[in-house]
Amino acid sequence: MIVEIHGVEVFGHHGVGEQERRQGQTFLVDVTLQIPEPSSDALAGTIDYRRVRDIVHAVNESGSFQLLETFTRAIADSVHEELLPEWVRVRVRKPGIAWAEWTAATVERP
């Protein structure tokens, strides 16, 4: 079963430029997980989507990342380690770029 959580919004002080790190900016995080199908209609049989949200927020608040790629990797690693999905894909989008609608980095973990 595929579970998708798109557009988790976080405000962080990530980036290469001093100004973007100082002022901070919004990032949008998309997490896609492959998990076993639940055997019952109970939350205990699946991944609580709020835990995914909390992991994204915890990584964002853990420090500052210069690269979008390393920020994305840190989220993917944390989701993978804490929730143990069969597979996870994390995409972090950085909207509001002067020359593009947004930029992004995507990481997958088996």
Residue labelled with tokens 């996870």:
88
Tell me which residues are annotated as active site.
Answer: 94
DSSP 4-67: EEEEEEEEE--SSSHHHHHH-EEEEEEEEEE-PPPSSSSGGGS--HHHHHHHHHHHHHT---S-
Output phi, psi for 78, to 5 deg: -65, -45
